[in-house]
Amino acid sequence: MPKQRKFLPLTIMAACVAVAVALLEYAPTTKQRPEVNARPMALPVVVAQPSVLQAMVTSHGTVRPKWQIDLVAEASGRVIQVADDFVSGGFFAAGDELLKVEPLDYEVALARAEAQLAQARQALAQERGQAQLAQREWRELGTDEANELFLRKPQIAAAEASVKVALAELQKAKLDLQRTTLKAPFSGRLQEATVQLGERIGNGAVVGSAFATDVMEVPLPLTGSQLALVDVPLSASGETNVPVMFTVEVAGVSYQWQGHIVRTEASFDTQSRVVNAIAEVRGAYQPRADGAPPFSPGLFVRAEILGRDFEDTIELPRAALYERNNLLTLDGNNRLQVQPIEVLQTAEKTVLVRGVETGTAVLLERPSLLIRGMAIEPLIQDSANATAELNDNSLNTTGRL
């Protein structure tokens, strides 16, 4: 037994070596696969052709009249006549009689002023006649110097002043009589009428409100970045006439009106930090062949403002932007690169960018796995066709910042 225990470890070691040799001898062999070159990812690209492009800035606003006033009575009395169109929504022309106040009291005042003027003129004539008699008597006394009071010069001056006062009172009485008839100061439309036939009104009473229909205006809010795209001066001496196309939908139909930005408001809005550019539309109530309704106050409209020309600029689908201010481009070996650019304008589906050299291949889609320097197989597309499906929402229609 002691001898068997002495050789037991050697026996175990020999068995392990035998098993290891057997495993190495009969282990399965693996065949090495041949190397296969992965094909580069194919993505659509456009070849940049920078040119001069014009920006189009979109804003929105509400139509309002350029001139709007309260109609105020300038005479007191009972309303004895009201025009048929003196109702809310009624149209009128400049000089039309809108309402009339009973004029009897003013006619009496006019007659009294005429009588006072006649009396003042009579008194002046008497004073002048007496002055002539006094002058003749003074000459008969044989002296060259005459007393002004004796010659009635102060009396004549007082009589002349009385005539002027009476004449002014007469003119006022005539004007007061004319004011018993309220006339339209311009051609326009009545927004509200607050007086009825037979009602008694006082001098200074507001009887309605009206606005002129020949010119409408629209305040269009513009941000600082939008101001950089349009030629709208902010200085007091600056003049502008930037074209604007307005679009509004009425009863499911879209209509357009042409207008122009004529000025900007005096200050920026303290909350939104925007400034309103004021655009005007003339002839907004004139009939049109397409049956468009009037460009009425209160309409909410979309405005497309013609912007400045920018050189070395290209228009791309918005999906081509990478991390806001970059494009994915290909170098001469079709290797992916990230190129910083200047974004001039961002629209719903397109962008206007600058800083891309002519001939640069710009990716229109991102690879599923983006690695700088990776190989890309370019699928070159025509730049015009690349944005053809987006034209309805391009910078020329719905540009916004």
Is residue 15 one of the residues assigned to a domain?
no
Residues 229 and 295 grouped into a single domain: yes
Whether 342 and 299 map to the same domain: the answer is no
Is the pLDDT confidence value at 175 over 50? yes
Q: Quick one: pLDDT at residue 398?
A: 33
Same domain flag for 289 and 328: no
Residues 81-131: pLDDT tens digits? 999 999 999 999 999 999 999 999 999 999 999 999 999 899 888 888 887
CATH number, domain containing residue 352: 2.40.420.20
Whether 21 is covered by a domain: the verdict is no
pLDDT of residue 272: 85
Looking at residue 36, its pLDDT comes to 46
Tell me the CB-side half-sphere exposure of residue 337, using CA atoms within 13 A.
14
**Is 37 a domain residue?**
no
Domain boundary among 136, 157, 179: 179
Q: What is the per-residue pLDDT for 386?
A: 57
What is the tens place of the pLDDT at every residue in 317-360?
Answer: 988 899 888 999 999 899 999 999 999 888 778 888 998 999 89
Give the HSE-up count for residue 151: Cα atoms under 13 Å, Cβ half-sphere.
Answer: 11
- Which residue segment(s) compose the domain that 354 sits in? 42-53+309-398
The pLDDT, as a whole number, for residue 266 is 83
What's the CA gap between 111 and 109, in Å, rounded?
A: 5
Last residue in a domain, options 282, 308, 334: 308
Domain count, the chain: 3
In a domain, 393, yes or no: yes
Give the Å distances, CA to CA, from 153 to 38, 150, 157, 163: 121, 8, 6, 15
Q: How confident is the model at residue 1 (pLDDT cuts 50, 70, 90)?
A: very low
Name which of 318, 317, 327 is nearest 386 in CA terms.
Answer: 317
C-alpha to C-alpha distance for 155 and 150, rounded to whole angstroms: 10
The secondary structure of residue 373, as a DSSP letter, is T
The per-residue pLDDT for 139 is: 66
Does residue 111 sit within a domain?
A: yes
Which range (61-65, 101-105, 221-225) has the least confidence? 221-225
Of 389, 332, 380, 314, which Cα lies nearest the Cα of 43?
Answer: 380
Q: What is the pTM assigned to this prediction?
A: 0.70
Give yes or no: residues 251 and 299 share one domain: yes
Region of poorest pLDDT, from 61-70, 342-351, 352-361, 377-386 = 377-386
265 lies in the same domain as 344? no
* HSE of 84, CA atoms in CB hemisphere, 13 A: 0
Q: What's the Rg (C-alpha) of the chain?
A: 46
The helix/strand/coil state of 218 is: strand
Mean per-residue pLDDT over the chain, rounded: 83
Judge whether 194 lies within some domain.
Answer: no
Q: Is there a single domain that holds both residue 281 and residue 319?
A: no
Are 300 and 373 within one domain?
A: no
Q: Of 7-11, 44-48, 230-234, 348-352, where does the model show the most confidence? A: 44-48
Final residue of a structural domain among 308, 325, 345: 308
Q: For residue 90, what are its two tokens?
A: 């009624």
Q: What pLDDT, on the 0 to 100 scale, is given for residue 267?
A: 85
> Are residues 299 and 222 both part of a single domain?
yes
- What CATH number is attached to the domain comprising 291? 2.40.30.170
Same domain? 245 vs 329: no
Distance CA 298, CA 211 (A): 13
- What is the rounded average pLDDT of the residues 269-282? 89
| 244: confidence class by pLDDT, cuts 50, 70, 90 | very high
What the block records as the tokens of 335 is 């290797």
CA distance 304 to 86: 37
